[in-house]
Amino acid sequence: MAEETEAGAASVDPAALAMALNSPGTAEDVRAFLRDQRAMLHLQMEGMQAEEPYKLSHFRLRRFSGWAKAAFEFSVGLLALAVVSALGAMVWNAAHDNGLVI
């Protein structure tokens, strides 16, 4: 498919293309199109420049959120390990207790 497109593009007569683009109506249409594209590009660049500070603060917030989540998960893991260790110690002490049971 790409070969057909390349072959079709290569078969265009450059003189015919130049004559079509140099005709008064087509040249003005092309200039108007390029002016519109330039105006749209400037609007997009202004929008991107206006969004940039918000994107940076969002990335900073996401990074802080990631660190906070990791710290929270680590502390929950330590708490679970402490609970399991305490239960294990209670079971071990109960199994090896030689005292009086009432």
d(CA 57, CA 7): 50
pLDDT for 97 beyond 60? yes
Tens-place pLDDT, residues 12-67: 788 877 777 777 777 788 888 889 999 999 999 999 998 888 888 889 999 999 99
At residue 99, what are phi and psi to the nearest 5 degrees?
-80, 180
Asked if 20 and 12 count as a contact pair (C-beta separation under 8 A), the reply is no
Q: Are 20 and 26 spatial neighbours (Cβ–Cβ below 8 Å)?
A: yes
CA distance 80 to 74: 10
Q: Is 13 helix (H, G, I), strand (E, B) or coil?
A: coil
Model pTM score: 0.47
- The band of 1, judged by pLDDT with boundaries at 50, 70 and 90, is very low
Q: Where are the domains of the chain?
A: 12-95
Torsion, Cα of 29, 32, 33, 35 (10° steps): 160
Residue 11 carries which side chain, given as an amino acid letter?
S
What is the distance between the alpha carbons of residues 46 and 40, in angstroms, rounded to a whole number? 10
